[in-house]
Amino acid sequence: MTLDPEIVLLGVLICIFAYSLLTKAIARSIITLPIIFMVVGYLAAGPIALMAEPELLDDGKRLLAEITLVLVLFSDASHVRIQKLRRSFGIPLRMLVIGLPLTIALGTVVAYGLNPSSGMAMALLTAAVLTPTDAALGQTVLSSDSVPENLQQTINVESGLNDGLVLPFVLLGGILASAGMQGANTDGLVVSALLQITFGPLVGICIGWTAAKAMGLAQRQDVMAEAAGGVAFVMVAFSAYLLSELVGGNGFIAAFTAGMVFGNTYKYPLHFISEFMEGIGQLLTMFAFLAFGALLLPDGFAHMTWNAVILAFLFLTVVRMLPIMVSLWGTHLHVSEKLFLGWFGPRGLASILFTLIMIDEFDFPGEDELLACVSMTVFMSIILHGMSAAPLAKWIGKTVPNE
Three-class SS state of 389: helix
Note the pLDDT of residue 187.
Answer: 55
- Measured between alpha carbons, how far is residue 211 from residues 83, 246, 365 in Å? 21, 19, 41
Q: Do residues 367 and 122 touch, judged by C-beta distance below 8 A?
A: no
Task: Please report, in angstroms and rounded to a whole number, the separation of the first and last CA atoms in the chain.
Answer: 58
Note the pLDDT of residue 2.
Answer: 59
The kind and range of the H/E element at 251 are helix 251-265
Note the pLDDT of residue 270.
Answer: 84
Number of Cβ within a 10 Å radius of residue 222: 7
Residue 94 amino acid letter: R
Per-residue model confidence as pLDDT tens digits over 84-126: 666 557 888 899 999 999 999 999 999 999 989 888 999 999 9
Q: What percent of the chain has pLDDT over 90?
A: 29
Cβ neighbourhood burial of 279 (10 Å; 0-12, 13-18, 19+): exposed
Three-class SS state of 80: coil
Per-residue model confidence as pLDDT tens digits over 173-210: 888 888 766 555 555 556 766 777 788 889 999 999 99
Q: Do residues 293 and 40 touch, judged by C-beta distance below 8 A?
A: yes
Q: What percent of the chain has pLDDT over 70?
A: 92
Q: Do residues 128 and 377 touch, judged by C-beta distance below 8 A?
A: no
5-399: CATH class: mainly alpha
Q: Is the pLDDT of residue 278 over 60?
A: yes
Residue 304 amino acid letter: M
Q: What is the C-alpha separation between 91 and 5, in angstroms, rounded?
A: 48
Note the pLDDT of residue 326.
Answer: 95
Q: What is the C-alpha separation between 83 and 36, in angstroms, rounded?
A: 39
Per-residue model confidence as pLDDT tens digits over 51-79: 777 778 877 877 887 888 888 888 878 87
- pLDDT band (50, 70, 90) for residue 129: very high
Note the pLDDT of residue 188.
Answer: 58
Per-residue model confidence as pLDDT tens digits over 224-267: 887 788 889 999 999 999 999 899 888 888 888 899 899 999 98
Q: What is the C-alpha separation between 48 and 43, in angstroms, rounded?
A: 10
Note the pLDDT of residue 235.
Answer: 94
Q: What is the C-alpha separation between 310 and 312, in angstroms, rounded?
A: 5
Three-class SS state of 330: coil
Q: What is the C-alpha separation between 289 and 297, in angstroms, rounded?
A: 10
CA-based R_g, the chain, Å: 21
Orientation of helix 228-246 relative to helix 54-78, angle to 10°? 110
Three-class SS state of 397: helix
Mean pLDDT lowest among 160-164, 276-280, 321-325 = 160-164
Q: Model-level pTM?
A: 0.81
Per-residue model confidence as pLDDT tens digits over 145-182: 788 877 887 887 787 778 778 888 888 888 888 876 65
- When the pLDDT of each residue in the chain is averaged and rounded to a whole number, the result is 84
Nearest partner of 342 among 151, 126, 129, judged by Cα = 151
Residues 6+ apart with CB under 8 A from 304: 372, 375, 376
Residues 6+ apart with CB under 8 A from 306: none
Q: Do residues 84 and 304 touch, judged by C-beta distance below 8 A?
A: no
Residue 359 amino acid letter: I
